[in-house]
Amino acid sequence: MGINSNMASREVCDLIFVDYATKKPFLNLDYANVTTTELTGESLFAYGGKGHPKKVQFSGERGGTLTIETQMQSVKLWQLITGGELNKNAKFVKRVEAVTVGADSSTITLDEAPVAGSVNVFAAADDCGEEMACTVSDKVITLTAPVAEGTKVVVYYMAEVTDKVERISIKATSFPKNFVVYGDTVMKTEEDELLPYRLIAYKAAPQSNMSLSFSNNGDPGSISLVCDLMADDEDNILDLVLLEE
């Protein structure tokens, strides 16, 4: 039968991350490019006799890693790696190029109300230079020293968003959770059969390392996620399962 045949693989694993503590699904990661499972251990030896030869071998410190490389990303993936808290609001600085209106008041109207005390106005020809004094009422900025109508200015202000936003808050005290990981792919036999292959990592701890790169050339940016494989409370580390259809 095919299940006893020699096999090869040229496909990635789809992975389901289940919260180790609650046993509830946390992330369906079915968009990875590479998934690599590595088992590790340490061998120690007892030596004896002339020439200091190895006599007895001891094995221990069993563990391993599960490494995922993906160009596709999600907020949930960032949360899994960082252990950060998911929030539904955000504040960030915006820059707007505008022109003054009103011959007497020299006003500027923004598309949204800025956070109080966050507005800075500069002449367009002196961006981030000498600040222009102003007052703010809702979305309207009024320059203290009037300028000609149509004068070009640059406005910096803090915007607060509370709708359709997801923010991951990463603190010095943020650490990833542990997960049970279920993998799903196929193996191809010499008889040209495709056999379902499953892996189960019983206690995977994501490492808190993440690099986000943004570039205007070359391949799309990617993320590498490394999970340390540990033993659960029944000493299970990893199952490799091959199914016969």
Q: Is residue 223 part of a domain?
A: yes
Note whether 45 and 54 are within 8 A (CB): yes
- pTM score: 0.85
Q: How many angstroms separate the CA atoms of 94 and 111, rounded?
A: 11
pLDDT at 214: 87
CA distances from 152 to 82, 99, 119, 140 (A): 43, 4, 16, 16
Q: How many angstroms separate the CA atoms of 14 and 33, rounded?
A: 10
Q: Which of 115, 139, 161 is the last residue of a domain?
A: 161
pLDDT at 232: 96
Q: Are residues 145 and 215 in the same domain?
A: no
Q: Are residues 94 and 202 in the same domain?
A: no
Q: How many angstroms separate the CA atoms of 17 and 24, rounded?
A: 9
pLDDT at 244 over 90: no
99 pLDDT tier (thresholds 50, 70, 90): confident
Q: How many angstroms separate the CA atoms of 188 and 10, rounded?
A: 8
Domain count, the chain: 2
Q: Are residues 12 and 132 in the same domain?
A: no
Q: Is residue 130 part of a domain?
A: yes
Q: How many angstroms separate the CA atoms of 65 and 205, rounded?
A: 9
Find the mean pLDDT for residues 99-121. Answer: 90
Q: Is residue 53 part of a domain?
A: no
Q: Is residue 193 part of a domain?
A: yes
Q: Is residue 52 part of a domain?
A: no
* 158 vs 150, higher pLDDT: 158
pLDDT in tens, 17-59: 999 999 999 999 999 999 999 999 999 999 999 999 999 999 9
**Residue 73 — left, alpha, or beta (φ > 0 → left; ψ -120 to 50 → alpha)?**
beta
Q: Are residues 79 and 176 in the same domain?
A: yes
pLDDT at 12: 96
pLDDT at 176: 95
Q: Are residues 122 and 188 in the same domain?
A: no
Q: Which of 101, 131, 161 is the last residue of a domain?
A: 161
Q: How many angstroms separate the CA atoms of 211 and 82, rounded?
A: 11
pLDDT in tens, 155-193: 999 999 999 999 999 999 999 999 999 999 999 998 888
- Cβ neighbours of residue 54 closer than 8 Å, sequence gap 6 or more: 45, 46, 47
The half-sphere exposure of 62 on its side-chain side, counting CA atoms within 13 A, is 9
Q: How many angstroms separate the CA atoms of 96 and 152, rounded?
A: 11
Q: Which of 161, 180, 208 is the last residue of a domain?
A: 161
Can you point out the beta strands (E) in 88-193?
90-99, 107-109, 120-123, 134-137, 140-143, 152-161, 167-169, 179-189
pLDDT at 170: 93
- H helix intervals, the chain: 75-82
pLDDT at 212: 86
Find the mean pLDDT for residues 82-106. Answer: 90
CA angle at 36 for the pair 33 and 38, rounded to the nearest 5°: 170
146 pLDDT tier (thresholds 50, 70, 90): confident
Find the mean pLDDT for residues 66-95. Answer: 95
Q: Which of 66, 82, 35, 83 is nearest to 202 (CA)?
A: 66
Q: Are residues 11 and 80 in the same domain?
A: yes
Q: Is residue 125 part of a domain?
A: yes
pLDDT at 5: 81
3 pLDDT tier (thresholds 50, 70, 90): low
pLDDT at 93 over 70: yes
Q: Are residues 72 and 7 in the same domain?
A: yes
Q: Are residues 130 and 201 in the same domain?
A: no
Reduced to 3 states (helix: H, G, I; strand: E, B; else coil), residue 97 is strand
Residue carrying structure tokens 């990617």: 222
Residue 87 in tokens? 């929030």
Q: How many angstroms separate the CA atoms of 27 and 180, rounded?
A: 11
pLDDT at 102: 77
Residue range(s) defining the domain that contains residue 137: 90-161
Q: What is the CATH number of the domain that holds 113?
A: 2.40.10
pLDDT in tens, 189-210: 988 889 999 999 999 999 998 8
